[in-house]
Structure 1
């Protein structure tokens, strides 16, 4: 992997998301491009533990000049944090045509990491219309990052037998082969626990070819979202890999995490393949 885009709303700095993106960039030695946009004026706050200079709060400055100073500090803090972590970084800032610009950038990127707060930017509509469009139009896979810092210790592939779920497994393994030493599990929810022997053999063989520790689990149940969420509760350090049907489950994960007071965001990073 060569290029990761980190999407973040400039008025809502999220250090945990930067940490997660840096973790992926560090693992893969990829360049991290910060894609910034503002939905509201930037507030005086701390970014990644670095306070904006008090001088920027001088109300005598013209509003646009004050805004530009704060924006410059925001972008510089991003560069500084990446530099301290040894991550090569660049920035892209836009104030209009955000989705179009991001989709265009994604044509030449390997992965997008989206801030979970950006996913909920439209208030209570989760995922937001912005996130739904991004998942539909992005030209590369998208990871919705977790709300809290975490180290990836396990990979859970959500398998439903569809071509999109298999594509998601392949895309993830090709982009992050460095995770081959992590435990990997393919999970399928079915009304019965029956599965053709040949299909089980294919999945098991694929997993063992890509991961040192792997397994395949069939969960008996009729509500895939609820069954998967219950299963994932026991795996706090897992990254979840989904195909196209994961876009529907994404809203369930976000709502459940809010109900559990997990900072109104995702409990797990979720990798969603582009189809």
Structure 2
């Protein structure tokens, strides 16, 4: 992997995005790009409340805008300082247009994107997945490393697999992009209906594949409804795990990786997620 981008709201800087991105870039000797989405519609204050309801004088608005400008500047400096201390090759992009449009455009030229799954690029707080993350995952052009608000070291890999091409594709992309994490304890997790056998889908083929990509992998086949069983299982592993999962909201994808599964993972498990879908 050569090029990682990490996305920031300069007015609400995500420390966990910075920490995960630097960890991955340093581990893989990659170039790190800090993308600061300085959306021209974004303010550190609530425009309607400040301008319309309170009737704030123009001079005071100018002062508030200057504060925003300084906050964005300090966020960039914080990122640059952290990269320098880590000894990374890095660059900074400051994109002034609509955040989601700029982010999708940046993804065309990236190997991997790191972003906090609580990100809104607004003054609002939303339960994940936020509108911006929902839109991003629907059209992004590279795999995405979604991170929680708190950084935890990564000690285990949890690969979600349902036998469909989308789940295998995600595992392949992870193997190609982040090879220096493949030495970690790895568990391949699948869920099957109660009356079916407890063998992995395409058992022989998947184990041949895993032997070459994740030779130390163990296998867990759960019985029941995927959304319930996966969440319960992941909670057991704790916050030091990284979850790899496949397609996100595609018309023909398995129920194993449909929107509700991905949404639930973001809301409930508070772990970093590697998401990649084949189009």
Is the TM value for this pair above 0.5?
A: yes
Alignment of 1:32-51 (within 5 A): 32-38=32-38, 40-42=42-44
**Could you give the per-residue CA deviations for residues 21-58 of structure 1, whole angstroms, max 9, x where no partner exists?**
11111111111111122575348xxxxxxxxxxxxxxx
Residue among 139, 147, 153 paired with 2:141:
139
Counterpart position of 1:17: 17
User: For 1:117, what is the secondary structure of its paired residue?
Assistant: coil
Counterpart position of 2:262: 250
Alignment of 1:3-152 (within 5 A): 3-38=3-38, 40-42=42-44, 62-118=63-119, 123-152=125-154
CA–CA distance in structure 1, aligned partners of residues 104 and 25 of structure 2: 20
CA–CA distance in structure 2, aligned partners of residues 175 and 35 of structure 1: 20
Aligned-pair CA distance for 1:109:
0.5
- Contact between 1:138 and 1:274, CA under 8 Å: does it hold in 2? no
**Could you give the per-residue CA deviations for residues 241-263 of structure 1, whole angstroms, max 9, x where no partner exists?**
11112643222123335xxxxxx
- Contact between 1:126 and 1:251, CA under 8 Å: does it hold in 2? yes
CA–CA distance in structure 1, aligned partners of residues 121 and 233 of structure 2: 24
Aligned-pair CA distance for 1:19:
0.8
Counterpart position of 1:190: 192
CA 1:60/1:154 → structure 2, altered by over 3 Å: closer, same or farther?
closer
Q: Which moved more, 1:93-102 or 1:135-144?
A: 93-102
CA 1:190/1:119 → structure 2, altered by over 3 Å: closer, same or farther?
farther
Question: Does residue 159 of structure 2 align to residue 157 of structure 1?
Answer: yes
Question: Does residue 211 of structure 2 align to residue 208 of structure 1?
Answer: yes
- Contact between 2:190 and 2:200, CA under 8 Å: does it hold in 1? no
Q: Deviation above 6 Å: which 4+ runs of structure 1?
A: none
CA–CA distance in structure 2, aligned partners of residues 131 and 74 of structure 1: 21
Counterpart position of 1:235: 237
Q: Which moved more, 1:62-71 or 1:226-235?
A: 62-71
Gaps of 5+ in 1: 44-58, 258-266
**Could you give the per-residue CA deviations for residues 128-173 of structure 1, whole angstroms, max 9, x where no partner exists?**
2211111011110011113222121111111111111110010110
Aligned length: 250
Aligned-pair CA distance for 1:174:
0.6
CA 1:271/1:35 → structure 2, altered by over 3 Å: closer, same or farther?
same
CA–CA distance in structure 2, aligned partners of residues 238 and 88 of structure 1: 27
- Contact between 1:34 and 1:91, CA under 8 Å: does it hold in 2? yes
Q: Which moved more, 1:77-86 or 1:10-19?
A: 10-19
CA–CA distance in structure 2, aligned partners of residues 104 and 119 of structure 1: 18
CA–CA distance in structure 1, aligned partners of residues 228 and 201 of structure 2: 27
Aligned-pair CA distance for 1:78:
0.9
